[in-house]
Structure 1
């Protein structure tokens, strides 16, 4: 069996099985375009992401992911469901209880909260082109009225709040993001376009941890992402 799709709390989830499992699991938390349905998911439909999945499976990783209510923007519902998915997978699969997390874009908002809530259960975390601060993300999008309105609609739906309240909460957040965790965290940013450059400057401004130095790679190096991920993940597997 290559993969298994199943529902939990109305949301579809998927587990991808390697041919030769090593006993280590990876939870993938996707970006805005991410989805999981009854037969497929974004990471197997997208050519670049599928290459990463295949590299990780060849290295023996069991990979699992959830639809997480679509564009959840770090909502409590998404965080709770990710925890339930972890518990389900650990109960039903033969895996080390300490998992890796691979989160992209908006998925970093869920990942950071999971690190806080699941102490002792997370082995390492990779954040790919992460959105770490909703406050700074909103400030960036304010320049683009159409995208700002769209983002506000998604935020109000995800967090079940009206626009005024959610804007008030987000804009009163700290400028810094505390990234001092009890597990290793690696940030990898693929430099594509001006927005990526702005985001890379933001990391310097908002990351409150001397131990985290983002790695920047050029777009032509994207095919190497799977190998880069595996090198980092395996370096954190010496202690079972």
Structure 2
């Protein structure tokens, strides 16, 4: 069996099995285009994602993910479901119970909140073009009225509150400050599009902060034409942090 689709809560999830398992699992938390249904997922239909998925499977990794209610933007219910998925995998699969996590874009908002959960162990974290701050993301999108209006509608749906309440809530939260000294983090920033260049400025400020705090964070910048390097970079990073079982 190469893969299996199943439901948790109301959401479809998917797990991919390697031909020769190495005993380690990868939780994937996708970006805005990510989806899972009863037949497949964004990772099986998109050529670039499928190539990355196949590389991980070839290296022996079991890969799993959930639809997470669509455009969740780091909502509590998305974090809770990601937790439930990890617990389901631990109960039903023969894997090391300390997972690698790969999160892209808004998926970083969920992945970083998993740090505070005691029920699962994160072995390492890879962030690809991450969104670290919803407040900062809202400010970025203000320049384009259409996308800004669309983003607000998605946020209100995901958090089940109006944007004014949400902005007050966000003032009390700073996800990027929740990195931990015992969990290695690799950030891969693909420099494609104006949003990516704006995010690189935010990343530069954060990296200065992490360096002062001596947190185990490494950052790689990748040009669009070199995107295929992402797969080998992630595998090298995972392998480096599998010495201790």
* TM-score, normalisation: structure 2: 0.93
Shift of 1:119: 7.0
Shift of 1:196: 1.2
Give the match for residue 149 of structure 1.
149
SS at match of 1:103: strand
Give the match for residue 236 of structure 1.
241
Shift of 1:206: 3.4
Shift of 1:167: 2.5
Give the alignment of 1:1-240 within 5 angstroms: 1-118=1-118, 121-171=121-171, 173-174=173-174, 177-207=177-207, 208-210=209-211, 211=215, 212-240=217-245
Shift of 1:205: 2.0
Shift of 1:221: 1.0
Q: Check the 8 A contact 1:178/1:209 in 2, yes or no.
A: no
Are the structure 2 counterparts of residues 8 and 163 from structure 1 closer, same or farther at C-alpha, using a change threshold of 3 Å? same
The alignment yields a C-alpha RMSD, in angstroms, of: 1.6
Q: For 1:180-228, what per-residue CA distance to the aligned partner results, in whole angstroms no more than 9, with x for missing partners?
A: 3421011000001222111111112235311324210111111121111
Q: For 1:139-193, what per-residue CA distance to the aligned partner results, in whole angstroms no more than 9, with x for missing partners?
A: 1111211111100100000000012211232356559634234210110000012
- In 1, the alpha carbon distance for the partners of 2:164 and 2:155 equals 11
Shift of 1:108: 0.2
Q: Check the 8 A contact 1:115/1:181 in 2, yes or no.
A: no
- In 2, the alpha carbon distance for the partners of 1:93 and 1:213 equals 31
Q: For 1:16-53, what per-residue CA distance to the aligned partner results, in whole angstroms no more than 9, with x for missing partners?
A: 00000011000000001100000100011110000000
- In 2, the alpha carbon distance for the partners of 1:24 and 1:141 equals 37
* TM-score, normalisation: structure 1: 0.95
Q: Check the 8 A contact 2:185/2:218 in 1, yes or no.
A: no
Q: Check the 8 A contact 1:17/1:63 in 2, yes or no.
A: yes
- Dislocated runs of 4+, deviation >4 Å: 171-176
